[in-house]
């Protein structure tokens, strides 16, 4: 199961076990539900804003360890970002997931690097991010 | 004698290795593997006979036409059809059902009419009817299932009535492993003056099928799930009904006389075969049903029944596992959930051990909702699978669970 | 360097004998032969990677999905499409055009609207529009041809107007060998606010094609005519237009979320790929366009242009022969009639000498009526044909005519 | 071209060259037009009756030597037959053309035997016969 350790890194399993920012937000300004048509996994992301800055983000839904861990990591990263920064951040992440950009070594996100080898799982890893992107009005 | 070792030698892909592990292919409900003789039939067709059919006077065209029409006769015989007139080649079950939903449904359904389906249907026998209902104003109704996954036939009796124009039912479920009482449903449909469509995608590959005995009006199945090539499937329909239907796809071959402003259409089954058909694939499917016929569908069924039973027993040993569908009278597949591990993670961990299972909604989202799960894992067997493969599956599941248990939420 | 001997060695069927004669295959407009590398791609797919795509997490499913999607990218590049979003796999040109006629036509056409086609269309680009017109009340109109078989573009200018919703045109004619001015038609269509559909069944295999440069909105072609397997074809459509269209076939894969009463649909191109697709065939088509790309479509075109010219010249030597279509700017096929011999009898006599040509209406009955003949004979060339084969054709025609002349009516 | 002689027998070529009963009939009681969708050939058969007996038969249309010769031979055979006899005659001929019945050696029709080897031409040979069959109300 050594290959497995590359995919299911400690960081992923940790986020899977103790997801950050799981839940819903009353008065969310942004709320977007997204379904992965290929497997039935679904996620809802919501966010409140403080002016242009993301004040709070939460996610809910059900899915595999990859989709849950990735959603959890995303919420940590988006708090405090402007809409523009959030958008850039998401695009950057999606570029990493299709191999068009390097994962920053020092970032926890690098834990998701192993997913690239499994194209069918890339959609799991990007599900919450795409939902947020759509919530920002980008299709 | 059913010699599974000999059978396995017919399937080149079964020697495939995933990393250093021998492939254990348990995703047969999604698509089956192909025996060498089917691949040889394809190659031989292309290397010696390839031509467009029906319209050519030269030798290759004669040979290709003969091969294609022979396949039609073979498949008709395999399904117990009384002749070839009602046997239409399509891309697969999905196109077959859409053909009916367009060419019969758009013409015959009206506001106030009902199409009765079941909660167990594959999207292929649901979405085409949703589209037809939107276009015509007809209403869809659904036979519910009981706790064990079998159809509630009493409720079916209440639902079938004078408004019912068509009853559509999955013959063998790709999730629950049930074999539905389609003979009974067909009888009830007929008494109500409705037509009966059977989605045989999961029955034709695994059970002896006889469309006459089923008493249905339409029967659909896919070549790729029954040892045949991708890209070919079948719609069998009662000729009298097909005759009255509108054409579906327009183009070459399905016509009789074409004028700029209107056309008349060809005889059955050609009326529904527009344009250049999947000729080589139909020929390949002919070779596949030849092989199935040689093995004997009774024997195939018995092999899979035993293997399914064995798998059900072994999987039941796993603590906390939930297996869907009834305990008895199952086909050779098992859908299940393990606590603590998402089906996706499960199939990924199994893949590392060379074991191919499927996880997801199996194109049956309404059924998933009914079962209260977003997805299940599914191991589905075919005529070449053996008990050792079930053992490898069960052991790998136990290990996967060990891996994930510490992180269970 | 375009080395036709080397190319011929790639095609196993070219060694085929008919009786004691070597096959001369001149029925390429009906379907092309397949190079070894396409057959190998099919076999390799089935022997090593076969699985259902998109929904599986195991290795074979990943590999099969990658192979299928790579083919999509290859075909998109081959046709000059700006990306893969608008590239939908179908069974062939016929299904591609029907897809547009159903999913775009039924939604957008109304009484009073017009669809403008031409007198030269193949039944595949005529019958689907007749059916759509019947369903919607729209009217079909036709650009006539001039004496030499080229489109009367002045008349086209008069026919295109505010009522025109779609212009559909055969790119290269399967009877007249004309290459129609689709760029100009597309421009005229755009100016009138109409869409432009190009039937590329006879252009994609033979000419460099660039859908962007053509300026069309839809482009359809068939794999089997361009070295690929039977059972696969392509519809390219502008993504913005495909996006707004209704779904066509309903079923698995084309959906996003399915509830019993309604569904939402998947992103492009998957929205139009319902059920298990012709996976192996798409992979085979990928290998075919790889090969065409290697040879260079400019070179293929040049080879066929020369051969067509040579054939036109040699055939003209036959006394009383009538050759259809213009003298210049032809593709590599020649349709003709010989006085005294019916085309059927002609191809039969030729078959005895191992020469495969086609005779009949070529799925263009309205054009036959326009030409005033029930049928023509047609010799159609492809990238592996050579001048010696033309010579054999011409000699055999002379003999056939000797045979029949005494009985001429 | 020896195979050709088997297909294009002298009898066929003779009927092709000098078709019997070519033309139309005024006041035909039976008239049926049929098209071979595969090649575009067409035939029209018409007949007058004297009581139950076929009084006169004619055919017109265009087609290959096989379809023309076969139509010509048919007209010769049907004159004087009752409807029932005509029907049986046609069924018998069609059975020969699909190899289900022997060709009578002594009959001119045996000239069409060679066609069986070319399935695509069988439709040519049976075109006029099928038209007459339909004219008799049999589908
Ligand atoms: C110009 C043209 N359009 C359409 C078609 C139909 O293609 P297919 O039969 O592959 O659907 C053909 C070939 O038969 C053709 O030549
Ligand atoms: C029960 C059932 N019906 C329909 C289908 C659809 O078949 P296809 O995808 O070959 O069109 C499937 C398989 O996916 C199935 O299992």
Domain of D85, CATH number, reads 3.90.1010.10
Q: Which of B345, B359, B368 sits opposite A65 (nearest CB)?
A: B345
Is C55 in contact with A39 (Cβ distance < 8 A)? yes
Mean pLDDT within C255-261 = 92
User: Is residue A54 within a helix (H) or strand (E), and if so which, with residue range?
Assistant: strand A53-62
pLDDT over threshold 60, residue C61: yes
Is A118 in contact with C256 (Cβ distance < 8 A)? no
Domain C4-30+296-407 has CATH 3.40.50.880: no
Task: Please tell me the distance in Å from A125's CA to the nearest CA on chain C.
Answer: 14
Is B363 among the residues known to form the active site? yes
Q: Is B374 near chain C, with CB under 8 Å?
A: no
pLDDT over threshold 60, residue A1: no
Domain that holds residue A7: 3-135
How many structural domains are present in chain D?
Answer: 1
Q: Chain D residue closest to C348 (CA)?
A: D4
Pick the atom of ligand 1 nearest to B253's CA. 9
Residues of chain A with Cβ-Cβ distance to C256 below 8 Å are: 35, 37
Phi and psi torsions of B157, nearest 5°: -60, -40
Query: pLDDT at position C405, please?
Result: 85
Is B257 in contact with D37 (Cβ distance < 8 A)? yes
Mean pLDDT within C252-268 = 93
Q: Give dist(CA C90, CA B94) in Å, integer.
A: 13
B275, B278, B280: residue to mutate for ligand 1 pocket, most atoms within 8 A of CB: B275
Q: Is B42 near chain C, with CB under 8 Å?
A: yes
Task: Please tell me the distance in Å from B29's CA to the nearest CA on chain C.
Answer: 10
Average pLDDT, chain A: 91
Pick the atom of ligand 1 nearest to C224's CA. 10
User: Is residue B68 within a helix (H) or strand (E), and if so which, with residue range?
Assistant: helix B59-78
Q: Chain C residue closest to D14 (CA)?
A: C407
Prediction pTM value: 0.96
Is A118 in contact with C57 (Cβ distance < 8 A)? yes
Question: Is residue B269 reached through a cis peptide bond, with omega within 30 degrees of 0 on the bond before it?
Answer: yes
Q: Give dist(CA C11, CA B60) in Å, integer.
A: 15
User: How far, in Å, are A117, B51, B114, B302, B404 from residue A113 at the CA level?
Assistant: 8, 49, 51, 46, 20
Interface with chain C: mutation pick from B36, B220, B272, B276, highest number of C CBs within 10 Å: B276
Query: pLDDT at position C299, please?
Result: 98
For ligand 2, the distance from its centroid to the CA atom of residue D75, given in whole angstroms, is 53
Split at pLDDT 50, 70, 90, the class of D119 is confident
Is B56 in contact with D120 (Cβ distance < 8 A)? yes
Query: pLDDT at position A2, please?
Result: 63
CA-wise closest residue to B278 among B222, B337, B207: B222
Mean pLDDT within A104-127 = 90
Interface with chain A: mutation pick from B374, B398, B404, B408, highest number of A CBs within 10 Å: B374
Query: pLDDT at position C409, please?
Result: 63
C29, C90, C122, C333: residue to mutate for ligand 1 pocket, most atoms within 8 A of CB: C122
Segments making up each domain of chain C, as ranges: 4-30+296-407, 39-294
Q: Is C174 near chain B, with CB under 8 Å?
A: no
Q: Whose CA is nearest to atom 12 of ligand 1?
A: C201
Mean pLDDT within C207-231 = 98
pLDDT over threshold 70, residue D112: yes
Any idea which of A115-124, B187-196, B300-309, C249-258 has the lowest mean pLDDT? A115-124
B-A interface (Cβ pairs under 8 Å ≥ 3): yes
Question: Is residue C250 reached through a cis peptide bond, with omega within 30 degrees of 0 on the bond before it?
Answer: no
Q: Give dist(CA A52, CA A82) in Å, integer.
A: 5
Query: pLDDT at position C340, please?
Result: 84
Query: pLDDT at position B406, please?
Result: 84
pLDDT over threshold 90, residue C57: no
Tell me, yes or no, if the two domains B4-30+296-407 and B39-294 fold the same way: no
Is B65 in contact with D119 (Cβ distance < 8 A)? yes
Ranges of chain B with pLDDT below 70: 409
- What percent of chain C shows pLDDT beyond 90? 96
Measured from the alpha carbon of residue C205, the closest ligand is: 1
* Inter-chain contacts counted by CB atoms under 8 A, chains A and C: 22
Measured from the alpha carbon of residue C95, the closest ligand is: 1
Residues of chain C with Cβ-Cβ distance to D8 below 8 Å are: 345, 403
Q: Give dist(CA C216, CA C87) in Å, integer.
A: 14
Check residue B102 and report its DSSP letter: I
Split at pLDDT 50, 70, 90, the class of A35 is confident
Q: Chain B residue closest to C131 (CA)?
A: B250
Query: pLDDT at position B409, please?
Result: 63
Is D120 in contact with B256 (Cβ distance < 8 A)? no
pLDDT tens digit sequence for C355-372: 999 999 999 999 999 999
Given strand B164-170, what is the order of strands in its sheet?
B87-90, B233-237, B218-222, B195-199, B164-170, B114-118, B139-143
Of B169, B216, B221, B363, catalytic: B363
Task: Please tell me the distance in Å from C63's CA to the nearest CA on chain A.
Answer: 9
Q: Give dist(CA D65, CA D62) in Å, integer.
A: 9
Q: Which of C62, C256, C266 sits opposite A119 (nearest CB)?
A: C62
Any chains having at least 3 CB pairs less than 8 A from chain D are B, C
For ligand 2, the distance from its centroid to the CA atom of residue B115, given in whole angstroms, is 20
Residues of chain C with Cβ-Cβ distance to A119 below 8 Å are: 62, 65-66
Q: Which of B342, B360, B399 sits opposite A38 (nearest CB)?
A: B360
Contact assessment for residue B90 and residue B99, using Cβ atoms and an 8 Å cutoff:
yes
pLDDT tens digit sequence for B359-402: 999 999 999 999 999 899 999 999 999 999 999 999 999 999 99
**Maximum Cα interatomic distance, chain A, rounded to a whole number of Å:** 48
Q: Is B404 near chain A, with CB under 8 Å?
A: yes
Query: pLDDT at position A119, please?
Result: 85
Site residues for ligand 1, CB cut-off 6 Å: B 252, 275-276; C 29, 92-94, 122, 124, 170, 174, 199, 201-202, 222, 233, 363
* Inter-chain contacts counted by CB atoms under 8 A, chains A and B: 57
Split at pLDDT 50, 70, 90, the class of D2 is low
- Which option is the CATH number for B39-294: 3.40.50.620, 3.40.640.10, 3.20.20.70, 3.90.870.10? 3.40.640.10
DSSP E strands, B192-254: 195-199, 218-222, 233-237
CA-wise closest residue to C276 among B92, B277, B362, B359: B92
Contact assessment for residue A63 and residue A121, using Cβ atoms and an 8 Å cutoff:
no
Q: Which of C62, C255, C266 sits opposite A120 (nearest CB)?
A: C62
SS (H, E, C) B4-38: HHHHHHCCHHHHCEECCEECEECECCCCCCCCHHH
Q: Whose CA is nearest to atom 14 of ligand 2?
A: B30
Q: Give dist(CA B211, CA B192) in Å, integer.
A: 20
B29, B119, B222: residue to mutate for ligand 2 pocket, most atoms within 8 A of CB: B222
């Amino acid at each position: 199961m050594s290959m497995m350790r590359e995919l299911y890194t400690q960081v992923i399993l940790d986020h899977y076990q103790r997801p950050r920012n799981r839940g819903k937000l009353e008065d969310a300004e942004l709320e977007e539900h997204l379904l992965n048509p290929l497997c039935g996994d679904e996620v809802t992301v919501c966010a409140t804003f403080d002016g242009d800055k993301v004040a709070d983000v939460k996610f809910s839904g059900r899915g595999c360890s990859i989709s849950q861990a990735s959603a959890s990591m995303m919420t940590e990263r988006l708090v405090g970002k402007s809409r523009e920064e959030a958008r850039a951040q998401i695009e950057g992440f999606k570029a990493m997931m299709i191999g068009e950009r390097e994962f920053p070594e020092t970032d926890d996100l690098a834990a998701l690097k192993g997913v690239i080898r499994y194209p069918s799982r890339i959609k799991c890893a990007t599900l919450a991010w795409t939902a947020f992107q759509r919530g920002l009005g980008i299709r | 004698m059913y010699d599974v070792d000999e059978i396995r030698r017919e399937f080149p892909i079964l020697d495939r290795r995933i990393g250093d592990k021998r492939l254990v292919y348990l995703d047969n409900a999604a698509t089956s593997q192909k025996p060498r003789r089917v691949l040889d039939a394809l190659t031989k067709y292309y290397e010696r006979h390839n031509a467009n059919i029906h319209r050519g006077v030269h030798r290759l065209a004669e040979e290709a036409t003969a091969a294609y029409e022979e396949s039609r006769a073979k498949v008709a015989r395999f399904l117990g059809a009384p002749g070839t007139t009602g046997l239409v080649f399509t891309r697969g079950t999905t196109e077959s059902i859409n053909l009916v939903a367009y060419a019969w449904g758009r013409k015959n359904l009206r506001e106030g009419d009902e199409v009765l389906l079941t909660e167990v249907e594959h999207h292929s026998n649901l979405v085409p009817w949703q589209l037809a209902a939107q276009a015509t104003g007809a209403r869809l109704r659904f036979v519910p299932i009981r706790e064990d996954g079998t159809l509630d036939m009493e409720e079916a009796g209440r639902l079938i009535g004078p408004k019912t124009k068509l009853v559509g039912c999955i013959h063998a479920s790709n999730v629950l492993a049930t074999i539905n009482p389609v003979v009974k449903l067909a009888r009830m449909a007929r008494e109500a003056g409705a037509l009966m469509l059977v989605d045989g995608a999961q029955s034709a590959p695994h059970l002896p099928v006889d469309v006459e005995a089923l008493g249905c009006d339409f029967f659909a199945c896919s070549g790729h799930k029954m040892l045949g090539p991708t890209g070919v499937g079948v719609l069998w329909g009662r000729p009298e009904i097909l005759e009255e239907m509108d054409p579906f796809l327009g183009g070459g071959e399905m016509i009789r006389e074409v004028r700029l402003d209107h056309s008349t259409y060809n005889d059955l089954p050609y009326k529904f075969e527009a344009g250049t058909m999947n000729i080589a694939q139909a020929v390949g499917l002919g070779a596949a049903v030849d092989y199935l016929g040689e093995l004997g569908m009774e024997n195939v069924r018995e092999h899979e029944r035993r293997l399914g039973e064995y798998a059900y027993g072994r999987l039941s040993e796993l603590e906390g596992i939930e297996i869907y569908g009834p305990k008895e009278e199952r086909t050779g597949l098992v859908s299940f959930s393990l606590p603590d591990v998402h089906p996706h993670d499960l199939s990924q961990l199994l893949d590392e051990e060379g074991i191919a299972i499927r996880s997801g909604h199996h194109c049956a989202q309404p059924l998933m909702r009914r079962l209260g799960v977003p997805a299940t894992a599914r191991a589905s067997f075919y005529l070449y699978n053996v008990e050792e493969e079930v053992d490898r599956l069960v052991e790998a599941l136990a290990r996967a669970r060990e891996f994930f248990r510490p992180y269970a939420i």
